[in-house]
Chains A and B, each alone.
Chain A
Amino acid sequence: MSVGDVPILSIIIFLPLVGALVVAILPSAYTRPAALAFALLTWVASLLLLLGYLPGRPGFQYEEVASWIPLFGIQYKVGVDGLSAAMVVLTTTLTWICILASFKPIQNRIKEYMIAFLVLEVGMVGVFLALDLFLFYIFWEIVLVPMYLIIGIWGGANRIYATVKFVLYTLVGSLLMLVAILATAFAFQSATGSWDGAFDFVRLREFAASPTGGFSDVLQLGAFLAFFLAFAIKVPMFPFHTWLPDAHTEAPTAGSVILAGVLLKLGGYGFIRFALPLFPDAAQTLAPAIIVLSLIAIIYGAIVALVQPDLKRLVAYSSVSHMGFVTLGIFVFNEQGTQGAILQMVNHGLITGALFLLVGVIYERTHDRTIAKMSGLAGRTPVYAAIFGFFVFASGGLPGLSGFVGEFLALVGTFAVSPAAAAIAALVMILGAGYLLYMFGRIVFGELSDFLAGLGDHLTDIEPVEILTLVPLATLVVIFGVQPGLLLELVQGTVDATVEAAAGGTAIAIGGEVIALIGGLVLLGVLARIGWALVHGESATGPASATAEGGAAH
Chain B
Amino acid sequence: MSLETLAPLLLILPLAGFLVTALIGRRLGKQAHWIPVLGVFVVWLIAMGLVVNVLTGAAPLIEGSEETHGYAIALFQWIPAGEFVVDVGIYIDALTACLLIVVTTIGLLVHVYSIGYMSHDPGYWRFFAYLNLFMFSMLLLVLSDSWLVVFVAWELVGLSSYLLIGFWYRKRSAALAAKKAFIVNRVGDVGFALGIMAIFINTGAAGEATLDIRQSIEILLHEGNANPIPLFVVALLVFAGAMGKSAQFPLHVWLPDAMEGPTPVSALIHAATMVNAGVYLVARANPLFASAPDAMVIVAAVGIFTAILAASIAMTQTDIKRVLAYSTLSQLGYMFAALGVGAFTAAIFHLMTHGFFKGLLFLGSGSVIHAVHEEQDMRFMGGLSKKIKITYVTMLIGSVAIAGIPPLAGFFSKDEILGEAFKLHFEWVWAIGFVVAGLTAFYMFRLMGLTFWGEFRGPKAVWDKVHESPWVMTVPLILLAIPSVLLGMALGLPLGDSTIHHWLEPVFAEGVELLGHEEAAYTLFGIDGMLILTSVGIAAIGIAIAWALFGTDLAGLHLPARPERVRELSARIPFLYRASLNKWWFDELNHVLFIVIGGRLAAAMWWFDRNVVDGTVNAIGRTTMEAGVGLRQVQTGRVQNYALGIAIGLIVMAGSYLLLAGN
Please tell me if the beta carbons of A551 and B182 are within 8 angstroms of each other in the complex: no
Once A306-B602, A547-B603, A551-B599 are accepted as A-B contacts, the answer to whether A376 and B183 lie under 8 Å apart by CB is: no
Which residues of B have CB within 8 Å of A526?
Answer: 605, 608
From B186, B595, B612, contact of A430 by CB (8 A)? B186
Tell me if A378 counts as interface (CB < 8 A to partner B). yes
Once the chains are docked, how many angstroms separate the CA of A288 from the CA of B39? 53
Interface residues on B, range: 35 or more
Once the chains are docked, how many angstroms separate the CA of A151 from the CA of B30? 50
Please tell me if the beta carbons of B590 and A411 are within 8 angstroms of each other in the complex: no
Contact with A along B51-85 (1 / 0, CB 8 A): 00000000000000000000000000111111110
Contact with A along B180-224 (1 / 0, CB 8 A): 101110110110011001101100100000000000000000000
Which residues of B have CB within 8 Å of A304?
Answer: 602, 605-606, 609
Once the chains are docked, how many angstroms separate the CA of A29 from the CA of B569? 84
Tell me if B229 counts as interface (CB < 8 A to partner A). yes
Main secondary structure of the interface of A (DSSP, over half): helix
Which residues of A have CB within 8 Å of B598?
Answer: 547, 551-552
Please tell me if the beta carbons of B607 and A429 are within 8 angstroms of each other in the complex: no
From B169, B253, B602, B611, contact of A303 by CB (8 A)? B602
Shortest B653–chain A CB gap in Å is 22
From A243, A308, A339, A415, contact of B201 by CB (8 A)? A415
* Most chain A CB atoms below 10 A, which of B187, B608, B609: B609
Please tell me if the beta carbons of B80 and A485 are within 8 angstroms of each other in the complex: yes
Which residues of A have CB within 8 Å of B194?
Answer: 415, 419, 422-423, 426
Once the chains are docked, how many angstroms separate the CA of A550 from the CA of B603? 12
Once the chains are docked, how many angstroms separate the CA of A488 from the CA of B81? 7
Please tell me if the beta carbons of B599 and A447 are within 8 angstroms of each other in the complex: no
Please tell me if the beta carbons of A553 and B605 are within 8 angstroms of each other in the complex: no
Tell me if B497 counts as interface (CB < 8 A to partner A). no
Once the chains are docked, how many angstroms separate the CA of A533 from the CA of B601? 13
From B169, B172, B175, B599, contact of A547 by CB (8 A)? B599
Question: Of A82-90, A279-287, A538-546, which stretch is located at the interface?
Answer: A538-546
Which residues of B have CB within 8 Å of A51?
Answer: none
Which residues of B have CB within 8 Å of A544?
Answer: 599-600, 603
Once the chains are docked, how many angstroms separate the CA of A408 from the CA of B176? 28
Question: Which chain A residue has the least Cβ–Cβ distance from B607?
Answer: A540
Please tell me if the beta carbons of B253 and A541 are within 8 angstroms of each other in the complex: no
From A404, A483, A534, A549, contact of B604 by CB (8 A)? A534
Question: Of B108-116, B150-158, B535-543, which stretch is located at the interface?
Answer: B150-158
Tell me if A137 counts as interface (CB < 8 A to partner B). no
Tell me if A367 counts as interface (CB < 8 A to partner B). no
Which residues of A have CB within 8 Å of B609?
Answer: 242, 300, 304
Question: Which chain A residue has the least Cβ–Cβ distance from B610?
Answer: A242
Tell me if A222 counts as interface (CB < 8 A to partner B). no
Tell me if A207 counts as interface (CB < 8 A to partner B). no
Question: Of A11-19, A55-63, A187-195, A431-439, which stretch is located at the interface?
Answer: A431-439
From A399, A438, A489, contact of B156 by CB (8 A)? A399
Once the chains are docked, how many angstroms separate the CA of A206 from the CA of B189? 44
Please tell me if the beta carbons of B179 and A484 are within 8 angstroms of each other in the complex: no
Contact with A along B574-607 (1 / 0, CB 8 A): 0000000000000100110011001111111111
* Most chain B CB atoms below 10 A, which of A304, A415, A529, A553: A553
Tell me if A134 counts as interface (CB < 8 A to partner B). no
Tell me if A20 counts as interface (CB < 8 A to partner B). no
Please tell me if the beta carbons of A416 and B201 are within 8 angstroms of each other in the complex: yes
Please tell me if the beta carbons of A434 and B175 are within 8 angstroms of each other in the complex: no
Please report which residues of chain B, range 621-651, place their CB below 8 angstroms from some CB of chain A when the two chains form the complex: 621
Which residues of A have CB within 8 Å of B189?
Answer: 429
Shortest B18–chain A CB gap in Å is 12
Once A399-B155, A429-B193, A554-B176 are accepted as A-B contacts, the answer to whether A335 and B606 lie under 8 Å apart by CB is: no
Given contacts A242-B610, A379-B170, A433-B186, 4 further A-B contacts (CB under 8 A): A307-B599, A447-B172, A485-B78, A485-B80
Could you pull out 13 A-B pairs where Cβ atoms are within 8 angstroms? A399-B152, A422-B194, A422-B197, A423-B190, A423-B194, A445-B170, A445-B172, A445-B175, A533-B607, A539-B607, A541-B607, A542-B603, A542-B606
- What is B's interface to A at a CB cutoff of 8 Å? 77-84, 148, 151-152, 155-156, 159, 162, 166, 169-170, 172, 174-176, 178-180, 182-184, 186-187, 189-190, 193-194, 197-198, 200-201, 204, 229, 253, 587, 590-591, 594-595, 598-614, 616-617, 621
